[in-house]
Amino acid sequence: MKNTAKTILISVATTLIVVAIVFYTAWWFSPMRGMGFGVRGNSISAGERAADETDRFSPMGRGMMNEMRMMADIDSEYEYMSSMIPHHEEAVAKARILRDRTDRAEMGEFAQSIIDVQNREIQQMEELLARWYPERPVRADYQPMMGNYSGMSGNELDVAFLQDMIPHHMAAVMMSQQLLVGGLAEHDEVTELARDIRDAQLREIRQMSDWLEDY
């Protein structure tokens, strides 16, 4: 009976997290969100905004949905770490592009922070996997979530990066919360890591949302 109740609780909590993320993401990229506002002083129609954001969001959206399905299958600390490593690696790779091409000091500093923090976490997860699961692959199959920034720089890149990184962070928050709520971690190090990732990336989501409003 206790195991059944726990299973139901985990299922409900995970479902609520998924719903919250999906609705937030849908709202964020909805043309209704920006209706009546201009971009850099120039008004755009809801139709133009919808077409532009649909084009930008669709490829990443497919990656996000695949990533969500992958997360729903996570049932161990091994799967958490082996899935989080390539997820972090994508964020680091895109942050390097942002760092090198942005015109804003705050965005350059933010990109460098992502590179430093997530590289440390990648190294930590690789070491933990090698210690506890030496016979298993370090990296799970991964569907990229973020877009192609070829030819982008300055404000265009800043906005594209923020639009991609917010749901990218949401995916990591969801994965971490699923591990914590489900009691899936077998080692205190993984519990602490998941909590750190969740809390840090929630703070960064709020910061990125503010920047995206400003830019």
The domains located in the chain, with CATH, are 59-214 (1.20.1260.10)
Residue 113, CA distances (Å) to 81, 108, 110, 168 in order: 20, 9, 5, 16
User: For residue range 178-194, what is the model confidence (pLDDT) as tens digits?
Assistant: 999 999 999 999 999 99
> Which residues in 42-173 belong to E strands, given as ranges?
42-43
Query: What is d(CA 160, CA 177) in angstroms, rounded to the nearest whole number?
Result: 26
Q: Residue 27 has which token pair?
A: 């709202």
Which SS3 state, helix, strand or coil, does residue 21 take? helix
- Tens-digit pLDDT profile for residues 55-108: 444 444 555 555 555 555 689 999 999 999 999 999 999 999 999 999 999 999
Predicted model pTM: 0.73
CA distances from 77 to 50, 129, 182, 193 (A): 39, 9, 10, 11
71 near 171, Cβ under 8 Å? yes
Please, what sign has the CA dihedral across residues 167, 185, 192, 11?
Answer: positive
In the prediction, which pLDDT does 44 show? 37
Residue 199: the pLDDT is 97
For residue 114, pLDDT over 60 is answered with yes
Strands (E), the chain: 38-39, 42-43
